[in-house]
Amino acid sequence: MTALPYILLPDEELPDAGSGVKASAESTGGVLTLIDSRTSGGAPMHVHENEDECFYVVEGTIQVWTKDDEYEAPVGAFVFLPRGTQHAWDVVGERARVLIITVPGGFERFLREFHEAAPHEQSDVALRYGIRFIPETD
């Protein structure tokens, strides 16, 4: 896959790639995914087998949990989660803007399929993309 140079202006996103997607596997030759996420929520505890995941907090604050630690990430914070790391995250307060970067690319495909799937099919979609949700324990 060969990537070509491109630029997206501030409120632009890649056509047909998903909400907030600035870089996709297709647009970067498989190198990375970059999503400008303007969100009120995060993700439950899970593990990525195929990609490293990073967060850069642009607005607001997020809370990040790993198997052993908990972090509060305010504006300007950067979080690196290598593949295989159990983690969850959520927004502190009402909203946050987070740049989500995954290496290699392709995470945007997972998100699109996951959100389009019926609730009872979402776990199967996740497993196809090497993402495993960790059940909550009391």
pLDDT digits (tens, 9 = 90+) for 73-119: 999 999 999 999 999 999 999 999 999 999 999 999 999 999 999 99
Full residue range of the structural domain in which residue 81 is found:
21-106
Q: What total number of domains does the chain contain?
A: 1
What is the average pLDDT across 5-31? 95
**pLDDT computed for residue 36 by the predictor:** 98
pTM over 0.85, yes/no? yes
Instruction: Confirm whether 118 is domain-assigned.
Output: no
Distance of CA 25 to the CA centre of its chain: 13
Instruction: Confirm whether 123 is domain-assigned.
Output: no
Task: Provide the 10 A C-beta neighbour count for residue 55.
Answer: 22
Question: What does each C-alpha distance from 69 to 1, 38, 72, 131, 132 come to in angstroms?
Answer: 38, 25, 10, 20, 19
Sign of the torsion formed by the C-alpha atoms of 123, 120, 22 and 17: positive
**pLDDT computed for residue 138 by the predictor:** 54
**pLDDT computed for residue 136 by the predictor:** 81
Instruction: Confirm whether 9 is domain-assigned.
Output: no
Q: What is the CATH number of the domain that holds 42?
A: 2.60.120.10
Q: Is the pLDDT reported for residue 1 higher than 80?
A: no
DSSP characters over 107-137: HHHHHHHHHHS-GGGHHHHHHHTTEEEPPP-
What is the average pLDDT across 15-35? 95
Instruction: Confirm whether 93 is domain-assigned.
Output: yes
**pLDDT computed for residue 130 by the predictor:** 97
Please identify which residue in the block is written with the tokens 């495993």: 132
Instruction: Confirm whether 80 is domain-assigned.
Output: yes
Q: Would you state the structure tokens that stand for residue 114, as one six-digit string?
A: 């996951």
Instruction: Confirm whether 34 is domain-assigned.
Output: yes
Instruction: Confirm whether 43 is domain-assigned.
Output: yes
* Distance in angstroms between the alpha carbons of the first and the last residue of the chain: 46
Question: What does each C-alpha distance from 125 to 5, 88, 115 come to in angstroms?
Answer: 31, 18, 10
Instruction: Confirm whether 53 is domain-assigned.
Output: yes
